Structure 1
Amino acid sequence: MSDDPSERTPTRRRLLVAGTGAAAATGLLAGCAGDASDEPSVGSSNASDSAVDAPDGGTSDGDDAGGDTADAWTASLAPVGDVSFESVPERVAVYDLLSADIAVAYGNADAITSLGFDAAVGGESLSAYYERLDGVDPDWDGLAQLNSGNAGVNVDSELLYELDSDLHLIDPALVTSFDGWARDDVEAIGDAVGPWFGNNYSRRHGDPPAAWEDAYAYYTVWEVAERVAAVFRADARYEALAAVYEDLLATIEADLPPADDRPTVAMAIFIDGTFYPTAANASGYATAHVRPFGVEDAFAGEEITFETTYDYEAMLTFDPDVLLHPYGLASHYSVSDAREALSEHPIGSEITAVAEGRVYASGVPMQGPIITLFQSEMTAKQLFPDQFGEWSEYAGGPYPEIPEDERLFDRDRVAEVIRGDV
């Protein structure tokens, strides 16, 4: 066998990859470009009158879309396009928490082979929410860490060959933005190991690498979750979780106060006297837990990038009623320490959110369907305690226990769906 990873023969678990107008060997197809609203509403991109029910709520195409087996089915997600499968993936490489959360949602936690960063830290962040779901307790031990970089991102392609995953639930466009990676490298892994199926730039509607622009589309959390459900033949689980979310949104919308009575909100990480802001109403699933509340962004009109920072004086000028601190649950950020530092600073203490005790631990931007449910409930209580109940004095650890009559969604139903009782 060649020592060149790109020349290795496909693994025994290699999934069938096929689609219109693309080379099956690469596992990468040019997807539909344009706005996600132009995409089909179902997870399978070629659903038709000939589609029939398949196990666990998926669909298999009666016209044999895969070409080689009557049991093949197709899923679609930009930028990879159509990918056909002949078996549910048993080993799944994951980079971000959104993809891990989706895999857990569909009962495939045991299939996960990796996370992008420290698995213990990432797993702890996810498990902080899962703690409140009976019987949902993924084991994060032994997962590979894909990124070994410190200041930057360093992902070794050899590790992906060694993991031998049936599916890379990772955006190939993101991977080609890493140092040392080219599209040929991604295609070689798609050919020899398993296909790619991910969409990262929907997080903030960011610009993908130029080579992927024409194939890219932006999706919501739930649109990504729906399309990944087709991969795992988990359409029924997706529909059940989406129904819980729709009920949650209806509860929120029914009790929202008039726009004039809503607080101004700033989202920012606070480190050593510096604020690193996020636009609260920005497009993308990073703020999916904030946008439904229709609040005024304290940074409205500002051009915010990843390089934007503010000092105490600037934050006092913005003077938000509420300050939401991303990555505030079960992470290395201590929002309790941030609150203390702000309240003891002569200028920081004058910020309305600080003076009124409304600096809150907020959630992770890379949120899948389960996390979005919790983070939407959390945000409702932080922004509108009179309508949705007080948020706890969170000081670390798992998502706080909320009395049953004050919960905004049914934990038992979510846990049932994840366990397969749909």
Structure 2
Amino acid sequence: MPKDDAVRGEPTRRAFAKYGGTVALGGLLAGCTGGDGGDSGSPEGNETGSGSSDGGDSADSGGDTDERYAASISPMGEVTFESPPETVFTRLTHHAGMAFALGRGNDVTALHAPDYYDGVWNQFVERLPGVSLDWSGRYSSWQPDKEKLYELDSDVHLADPAWITRQDAWDRDDIDEIAENVSPWFGNSLSDRHQEPPAEWADGYQYYGLWEQFEIVADAFRERERYEALAAVHDDLLSTIEDRLPPEEERPTAIMVAAADIESIYAYTLSNPGFLTSHTRPLGPRDAFKGSVESGTVVDFETMLEADPDVILYLGGMEPGTDMAGRRAAFEEDAVGSEIAAVRNDRFYPQGARYQGPVLNLFQLEMTAKQLYPDEFGEWPRYEEGPYPEIPDGERLFDRERVADAINGDL
């Protein structure tokens, strides 16, 4: 029967096949554990687990050969797919960014703050030849409505079910219902900063680095070649960074901040475990706060001057609606803010997003390397507005054409 007419609790043929005819949903969920994480205020880490995919075909109970295959991720455990997902529900942009990297960016049906992140992502996509992305007008899924998930009818829910159950309107039964009647959940978010999962998902919850989770997701989409092409670019970029990093004692002190207005400035950590620091931790800047400030802490100019960082990384500075020149001026015109070393030396730089996905991670590794270590990696152009600056060929730290080819499937 058409899914719109399906009786709740009676799995559709499509959803049932996605879990596999030999695995009961209840047992599958009972054997999985997990949770997710992140902070609602935000519009890679020491891995302790891994996922796998067999990538193989199998025969169904009727003896007909089809293309079913399995992939596994915490907290869901093993999920069987009847075919690679085409339409993709996401909640956070590290998952939407993975879909984009696998050539399915425009097939994302939902994400948090879609118009905002459409603007941010396209600042970087501008530098990828032949690649386009449009998330504008998608369903905003920070607090997803169950009925809306039926309406969206996505082939996979690339989101962490443990995080979803933190919402008042959701419980484990709702998660099971959507998995059974619409499509599976397949995502992990508490790896963002290694947060504690809710109690019901806590047994054996695993944390993944950004690229580790991307590999698992790529296997779920049967996109091993795309993953390997992008992972090779990432490996080359990390090798370049590692080879040219100065000794620790010669590295600058830095802080990362974000602010909707100058009265409420939030500080974020740079090197704690989790994929939110996957673009800063490999670069090893010294924490100007010396561990005294946790992510999400409100700081004022006096606190920042006491830390006196050599570099300020301004989160959200690449968003099209952000007045980067105005943000700099607010620091420069304040009697205290103007005394901070990073402000005095014009080392106040924009950043993009922490929930970044693999492609944005490549750009943000490059830009942050240049912002922190201009002598080793080349100067970062002074940025006030517009897309990611056009870096001369000889000063790029990764090949845009290789990335674009992978996204477009030109392998």
Q: What's the TM-score once normalised by structure 2's chain length? A: 0.89
Alignment of 1:9-408 (within 5 A): 9-11=10-12, 13-14=14-15, 16-18=17-19, 23-24=24-25, 28=29, 30-31=31-32, 37=47, 39-40=49-50, 43-44=52-53, 47=54, 59-61=55-57, 70-117=66-113, 119-147=114-142, 154-270=143-259, 271-306=261-296, 308-408=297-397
Kept in 2, the 8 Å contact 1:17–1:66? The answer is no
- Which amino acid in structure 2 is aligned with residue 146 of structure 1? S
C-alpha distance in 1 between matches for 2:121 and 2:62: 35
- The worse-fitting range, judged by mean Cα deviation, of 406-415 and 247-256 is 247-256
Measured at CA, do residues 266 and 68 of structure 1 come closer, stay the same or move farther in structure 2, by a change above 3 Å? Answer: farther
- The worse-fitting range, judged by mean Cα deviation, of 131-140 and 370-379 is 131-140
Residue-pair matches, total: 400
Identity %: 46
- Which amino acid in structure 1 is aligned with residue 94 of structure 2? L
Deviation at 1:325, TM superposition (A): 1.1
Deviation at 1:18, TM superposition (A): 3.8
Deviation at 1:111, TM superposition (A): 2.3
- Which amino acid in structure 2 is aligned with residue 384 of structure 1? Y
Paired residue secondary structure (1:357)? coil
Q: 1:10-55: per-residue Cα shift (whole Å, max 9, x none)?
A: 4564363448997326874644779974545x741xx4xxxxxxxx
Deviation at 1:116, TM superposition (A): 2.2
Paired residue secondary structure (1:107)? helix
- The worse-fitting range, judged by mean Cα deviation, of 224-233 and 22-31 is 22-31
Measured at CA, do residues 204 and 311 of structure 1 come closer, stay the same or move farther in structure 2, by a change above 3 Å? Answer: same
Measured at CA, do residues 374 and 131 of structure 1 come closer, stay the same or move farther in structure 2, by a change above 3 Å? Answer: same
- Which amino acid in structure 2 is aligned with residue 136 of structure 1? V
Q: 1:313-340: per-residue Cα shift (whole Å, max 9, x none)?
A: 1111111110111122125443322210
Deviation at 1:99, TM superposition (A): 1.1
Structure 1: segments with no counterpart, 5+ residues: 48-58, 148-153
Measured at CA, do residues 62 and 27 of structure 1 come closer, stay the same or move farther in structure 2, by a change above 3 Å? Answer: closer
Paired residue secondary structure (1:123)? helix
Q: What's the TM-score once normalised by structure 1's chain length? A: 0.87
Kept in 2, the 8 Å contact 1:135–1:415? The answer is yes
- Which amino acid in structure 2 is aligned with residue 350 of structure 1? E
Measured at CA, do residues 132 and 144 of structure 1 come closer, stay the same or move farther in structure 2, by a change above 3 Å? Answer: same
Deviation at 1:62, TM superposition (A): 6.0
- The worse-fitting range, judged by mean Cα deviation, of 353-362 and 136-145 is 136-145
Paired residue secondary structure (2:190)? coil
Deviation at 1:6, TM superposition (A): 7.3
Paired residue secondary structure (1:84)? strand
Measured at CA, do residues 78 and 158 of structure 1 come closer, stay the same or move farther in structure 2, by a change above 3 Å? Answer: same
RMSD between superposed Cα atoms in Å:
2.8
Deviation at 1:92, TM superposition (A): 1.2
